[in-house]
Amino acid sequence: TARADARLLAAHACGVGPDGLDGVSQAPAPPVLEEYVRRREEREPAELIVGHAWFMGQRFELAPGVFVPKPETQEIVEEAINRLSGLLSQGKTSPLVVDLCAGPGTMAVTIARRVPDARVYGIELSQVAAQAARRNARGTAACIVQGDACEAFPEFDGCADLVVTNPPYIPIGLRTSAPEVLNYDPPLALW
């Protein structure tokens, strides 16, 4: 991810989006870029350095203690969008989508933006992450709540058209050696 990280850091230092670097002159790099590079060399995720992540062309605000979206999540979202498109083409109206373990709202918000006919609800246990998800959901129909996924939305039992989740994925007792994950992603999102 070195090239992607460099573009993200440079774009943020120059005050442009990741695609805006092409229009930046060959002027010397802003001094803050050196600080960003130092922090990245210490293995702090580039997304946390700049305070946001780009996912499927959309910007998601992050904060310390919030899971950084991973590229693999795009596969889940693409499959969800394909399944919802199939339901809509079969005449289903307002399909109900529930995102368990919503983190910063990456899946719920993207689905709500890409499939505006869907009713999208997300739940996140972490208060900090739920707040970030609600900020990211502004301007969409996605509804994000803070709470336990095991007890989420009892009113939807048996009637959700699609459930998506990116739950904690490291088995208890195992450790990861990636400092970006181990030192910066919240343990609640990992184990």
Give the pLDDT score at 20: 77
Q: What average pLDDT does this structure show over 159-183? A: 85
* Alpha helices (runs of H) in the chain, residue ranges in sequence order: 2-14, 32-41, 46-50, 73-89, 106-114, 127-137, 179-182, 187-190
pLDDT of residue 30: 86
Assigned CATH class of 2-61: mainly alpha
Residue 23 has pLDDT above 70, yes or no: no
pLDDT, position 185: 86
Confidence of residue 181 (pLDDT cuts 50, 70, 90): confident
**Beta-carbon contacts of residue 22 (< 8 Å; ≥ 6 apart):** none
What residue type is assigned to position 103 of the chain? G
Task: Classify each residue of 157-186 as buried b or exposed e, where b means 16 or more C-beta atoms within 10 Å of its C-beta.
Answer: eeeebbebebebeeeeeeeeeeebbeebbb
Q: Which pLDDT belongs to residue 169?
A: 76
Query: Residue 96 belongs to what H/E stretch?
Result: strand 96-100
Rounded Cα gap, residues 43 and 37, in angstroms: 10
For the segment 76-95, the average pLDDT, to the nearest whole number, is 97
With cut-offs at 50, 70 and 90, classify the pLDDT of residue 189: confident
Judged by average pLDDT, the poorest of 8-22, 40-54, 80-94, 170-184 is 170-184
162: part of which helix (H) or strand (E)? strand 162-165
- Asked whether 123 and 147 are in contact (CB, 8 A), the reply is yes
pTM of the model as a whole: 0.90
More confident residue, 167 or 37: 37
Q: Is the dihedral of CA 136, 140, 145, 148 positive or negative?
A: negative
Q: Where are the domains of the chain?
A: 2-61, 73-165
Of residues 79 and 28, the one with the higher pLDDT is 79
pLDDT at 173 over 80: no
Contact 105, 122 (CB under 8 A): yes
Q: Are 98 and 163 in contact (CB under 8 A)?
A: yes
Task: Tell me which CATH code domain 73-165 carries.
Answer: 3.40.50.150
pLDDT on residue 25: 65
In angstroms, the CA 153 to CA 172 distance is: 27
